[in-house]
Amino acid sequence: MLLSCVRLVSQKFQAPQSLISRKFQALQFLVSSPSRPFMDLKTLVSSLNDFASLSLAENWDNVGLLVEPSPPHTVKTLLLTNDLTEEVMQEALQMKTDLILSYHPPIFRPLKHVTWKTWKERLVIQALENRVGIYSPHTAYDASPQGVNNWLAKGLGGCTSLPIHPSKAPSFPTIGTHRVEFNINDTPSMDKFMSAVKEIPDVSITTFSARNDGEEQIRVSLNCTQKALLRVVAFLSENSHLYQKTEILSLEKPLLLNTGMGRLCTLAESVSLATVIERIKGHLKLPHVRLALGIGKTLESQVKVVALCAGSGSSVLQGVEADLYLTGEMSHHDVLDAAAQGINVILCEHSNTERGFLSELKDTLAAHLENKVNIILSEKDRDPLQVV
């Protein structure tokens, strides 16, 4: 069929035989070669959000799809990098990348203009000109049960771990943010209340039998929003003689299992600080780390509990009781404070505690995305600091 189509074209337009041959070879290649897998950008972003909900990110962070080419945009190649530098961008363009997943957001502070003046502005320009999307998960991956901090904890050896600052669910398990409970003596009072509540939106009610001083009563439990609470309380105040034992509770969002910032790790067996150092260096593939010994501690001191936080851990680790703090960077004074409390501190440089996670992420994401896109790791991405 393809050959006859080419013949018809050659007869009608009388194209040169060499041109026809090249066209035929191109058509033959398209038919014989299996099509490369791909995903629509919006579908892919939705899948990435399912992998680690952006609601887990800290409220100060800038996460999600940061640069979007005009739709529709097809993604065949996804590049993973810890930091999106200009060198990594050139690598991405050479690899015909359609989407860059940069762990750190290259756009953090608002841009007042997009010119060729600064390197971050140039990244945005190059991404849009070459139709390359940019997505950043950052602290959503820090908090995730299958994220950066869990990966970092694997370098300690066998241990159990819990989040230092657990994440809360993005929404309440029931309607509203508050619960109001009270007793009602009789059916007419109950009817009056139910009639009033029908006019208030965002309210859910359950009732059950209760006894008060030997008297059978109805206990009402009402969940409502902050706005609805004002109207409920106003009604109860106006009819306070009908209702007894009123309580107003502020509801809390439930904690998410194994999710949150930092990890408090308890080793299966105590080991020397020197042993932990070697394990960490091996896990992060580093020849050196920085160490601050806690007061009265030596390399042979035993370590049982490790508090860790990938990246910059001062705010997460501060005040946590542990034998060792493990993070990328801490301020000079925070290190002094920890050491004064007898806590050892290991610093590995900021991105060295994060970058190795991308190798694990590559395989995990491939399975999550059902191998619909080609995922590659940046070879140009590296920590800006080195020991000389």
Structural tokens at position 265: 């790790």
Averaged pLDDT for residues 169-192: 87
Cα 154 to chain centroid distance, Å, stands at 19
To the question of whether residue 113 is assigned a binding role by annotation, the answer is no
* 17-32 helix and 2-13 helix, angle to the nearest 10 degrees: 160
| Torsion over CA: 359, 360, 366, 369 (sign) | negative
pLDDT above 70 coverage of the chain, percent: 91
| pLDDT band for position 239 (cuts 50, 70, 90) | confident
pLDDT of residue 186: 83
| pLDDT band for position 284 (cuts 50, 70, 90) | very high
> What digits encode the pLDDT tens for the residues 2-23?
333 333 333 333 444 444 444 4
| pLDDT band for position 35 (cuts 50, 70, 90) | low
To the question of whether residue 350 is assigned a binding role by annotation, the answer is yes
Distances in Å between the Cα of 240 and the Cα atoms of 188, 204, 243 are 15, 21, 5
pLDDT of residue 98: 98
Please enumerate in sequence order all residues whose Cβ is within 8 A of that of 366, keeping only pairs 6 or more positions apart, or say none: 375
Averaged pLDDT for residues 208-215: 80
Structural tokens at position 68: 């979007």
pLDDT of residue 103: 98
> What digits encode the pLDDT tens for the residues 123-141?
999 999 999 999 999 999 9
Q: How far apart are CA 350 and CA 353, in angstroms?
A: 6
What average pLDDT does the structure give for the chain? 89
Structural domains of the chain, with CATH: 39-138 (3.40.1390.30), 144-167+258-353 (3.40.1390.30), 178-250 (3.30.70.120)
pLDDT at 249 over 80: yes
> What digits encode the pLDDT tens for the residues 297-344?
999 999 999 999 999 999 999 999 999 999 999 999 999 999 999 999
To the question of whether residue 142 is assigned a binding role by annotation, the answer is yes
To the question of whether residue 178 is assigned a binding role by annotation, the answer is no
User: pTM score > 0.85 for this model?
Assistant: no
pLDDT of residue 319: 95
Check if the beta carbon of residue 146 is closer than 8 Å to that of residue 29.
no
Looking at 24-28, 189-193, 208-212, 368-372, which range is the least confident one?
Answer: 24-28
Residue burial 267-288, b: 16+ Cβ < 10 Å; e: rest: beeebebebbbeebbebbebee
Q: Pick the more confident residue, 47 or 387.
A: 47
> What digits encode the pLDDT tens for the residues 51-97?
999 999 999 999 999 999 999 999 999 999 999 999 999 999 999 99
pLDDT at 275 over 70: yes
Q: How far apart are CA 15 and CA 24, in angstroms?
A: 13
H helical segments located in 182-309 = 187-197, 226-238, 273-284
Q: 92, exposed or middle or buried, with CB in 10 Å at 0-12, 13-18, 19+?
A: buried
